[in-house]
Amino acid sequence: MSIFTKIKGLFTKESAGVTPQPAPVKAAASSKKNENIIEIKGITKVFDGVTVLDNLNLGIKRGQFVTLLGPSGCGKTTLLRLIAGFETPTEGEIFIEGVPITNIPPYKRPVNTVFQKYALFPHLNVFKNVAFGLKLKTVKDKNAKNGERKFTKEEIAQKVNRALKLVGLEDYGHRDVNSLSGGQQQRVAIARAIVCEPKVLLLDEPLGALDLKMRKEMQIELKKMHENLGITFIFVTHDQEEALTMSDVVVVLNDGSIQQIDRPKKIYDEPKNAFVADFIGESNIFSGVMEKDYVVSFLGKSLRCVDKGFEKNEKVDVVIRPEDIKIVDGAGTGHFDGEVLTTVFKGTYYEMIVLANNYEFTVQSQAEFRPGRIVSLEIVPDSIHIMKKILTINKYLGKVTGDGYVTFCDGEFEIPTDGFETGDEVVVYVPFDAVELTDDEEDGVIGAAVTQSLYKGTYYQVQVYTDTDEDFYIDTADEWDMDDRVGVKIDGAKVRLEKYDPEKDEEVAE
């Protein structure tokens, strides 16, 4: 079953014990539930000259289950480690309950972390693993010397047993941790993290090491624990389905920037841009043009949509979910006629690839159409999601290094420099179709790694990341694999240069 079908199920009916709608925040937290317990303000993190998080702003409400979701390397763990105090921001400030925490060491922050690798103490039994942190803690007591004392044995036993009960391991205190299954070990790790009663629990891919069945069970357990504890959970995952099923709020990250912050249903139904649409569930994505209010054209057709307020002829991304396309037998009735290329039964529906107007549409339907059948695809206005294009041209700060040569991104490119002099600082505008990728890195002017590839109806839009921390977007007929090393060449004749103006071009210099 595709992620989409499962997700769709979640929003329409109860499924497997997971509550489809955001869970109400419980008990103690409820009086302050609309207050932000964490404020992330202008956080930037740079490692070795590479910007991993770029000016992030995020407020997290008390008691919420918030998930940081994004592809590998987008900066999720770094953000969590900044909140935990294992990293320091390069810029910006994090506040917990209104208090700036940059200078507060990890153990003094009201947070605790559960890691993917449980890191339990192998020589201690379950009880002692959970009790470990409590033994180091002190509690305020006005009768004690210095006004503080350690927890008593009875207090520790009471707290440990309560934590073990919460994770469903009340009879396991005496067990050797090595004798437990992966899921049970992860529960011990969670008990160890919650026993000190943190206000915020940080979970860094805590289910990543579990097999699928155990993972599903633990998802339900974690959700229940969240409801029972009433504290804030910040959960990191790259698994879209996990994020959408478990969270009150999902924060989608890509390349160190927040793409969208919303409730799961809204993220699915109303993705803010083509990246979110592609990353969450399956999508047909096209490059289109808004002809006027309520009319968009793509793949050579004009269709009615429900969007307005774009510039006349503004370039947009058009997203259509596979289940929103109606497929009917024979040509002529719908908007696009085509031929079924493949049909796969997915348990409750058929997923078909239909070639129409040179585009391979993914269509899901209860009805089966065998390969070779001529069909017509119908798309109602409500199913067409229009998104602003995030970027329409690559833009860099460069320097004219000779007649016909401009240097930027650590490479010297051949570009006509008429009207400019050697040494001039220039803004270099490189259209997406002016970039060429080469298989062999050595054949390019500079080297880069492929970080994204989106099919947009008639071409692939590929994103590559250079060794100097710059992105290039390329429109190309070729498909490139993620993480491939490639060379980057440029057709200088298509490039436009403008004299650099520090006031006007502030952002390009950063």
Residues that bind ligand ATP (CB under 6 A): 47-48, 52, 70, 72-78, 238
**Smallest distance from the beta carbon of 233 to ligand ATP, in angstroms?**
17
Which residue number, 76 or 456, has a Cβ lying nearer to ligand ATP? 76
Which residue number, 73 or 198, has a Cβ lying nearer to ligand ATP? 73
Which residue number, 38 or 74, has a Cβ lying nearer to ligand ATP? 74
Cβ neighbour number for residue 88 with a 10 Å cutoff: 10
Rounded Cα gap, residues 45 and 78, in angstroms = 8
| Residue entry with tokens 């970027």 | 391
**Smallest distance from the beta carbon of 502 to ligand ATP, in angstroms?**
30
Rounded Cα gap, residues 262 and 252, in angstroms = 9
Question: 76 near 243, Cβ under 8 Å?
Answer: no
**Smallest distance from the beta carbon of 48 to ligand ATP, in angstroms?**
6
**Smallest distance from the beta carbon of 208 to ligand ATP, in angstroms?**
9
**Smallest distance from the beta carbon of 89 to ligand ATP, in angstroms?**
13
**Smallest distance from the beta carbon of 412 to ligand ATP, in angstroms?**
27
| Residue entry with tokens 């793409």 | 259
**Smallest distance from the beta carbon of 87 to ligand ATP, in angstroms?**
7
Instruction: Report how far apart, in Å, the C-alpha atoms of 288 and of each of 338, 353, 359 are.
Output: 20, 21, 13
Query: How many CA atoms lie within 13 Å of 442's alpha carbon, on the beta-carbon side?
Result: 0
Which residue number, 81 or 335, has a Cβ lying nearer to ligand ATP? 81
Which residue number, 52 or 167, has a Cβ lying nearer to ligand ATP? 52
∠ CA 78-80-85, nearest 5°, is 90
Residues counted in the chain: 510
Which residue number, 51 or 383, has a Cβ lying nearer to ligand ATP? 51
For residue 160, the SS3 value is helix
Query: Which of 500, 456, 493, 501 shows the shortest CA–CA distance to 474?
Result: 456
**Smallest distance from the beta carbon of 276 to ligand ATP, in angstroms?**
16
* CA distance from start to end of the chain: 44
Which residue number, 46 or 380, has a Cβ lying nearer to ligand ATP? 46
Which residue number, 78 or 461, has a Cβ lying nearer to ligand ATP? 78
**Smallest distance from the beta carbon of 401 to ligand ATP, in angstroms?**
30
Query: How many CA atoms lie within 13 Å of 370's alpha carbon, on the beta-carbon side?
Result: 0
Which residue number, 2 or 78, has a Cβ lying nearer to ligand ATP? 78
Strands (E), 138-294: 138-140, 148-150, 200-204, 232-237, 249-254, 257-262, 284-292
Token pair in block for residue 485: 């090393």
Scored b (16 or more CB within 10 A) or e, 115-143 reads: bbebebeeeebbbebbbeebeeeeeeeee
Which residue number, 82 or 130, has a Cβ lying nearer to ligand ATP? 82
Instruction: Report how far apart, in Å, the C-alpha atoms of 9 and of each of 12, 14, 286, 333 are.
Output: 5, 8, 26, 30
Rounded Cα gap, residues 462 and 477, in angstroms = 10
Cβ neighbour number for residue 170 with a 10 Å cutoff: 12
**Which residue intervals of 260-315 are DSSP H helices?**
264-269, 274-279
Token pair in block for residue 240: 């879209």
Q: Is 39 exposed, middle or buried (0-12, 13-18, 19+ CB in 10 A)?
A: middle
Which residue number, 86 or 107, has a Cβ lying nearer to ligand ATP? 86
Cβ neighbour number for residue 252 with a 10 Å cutoff: 26
Which residue number, 10 or 53, has a Cβ lying nearer to ligand ATP? 53
Cβ neighbour number for residue 38 with a 10 Å cutoff: 22
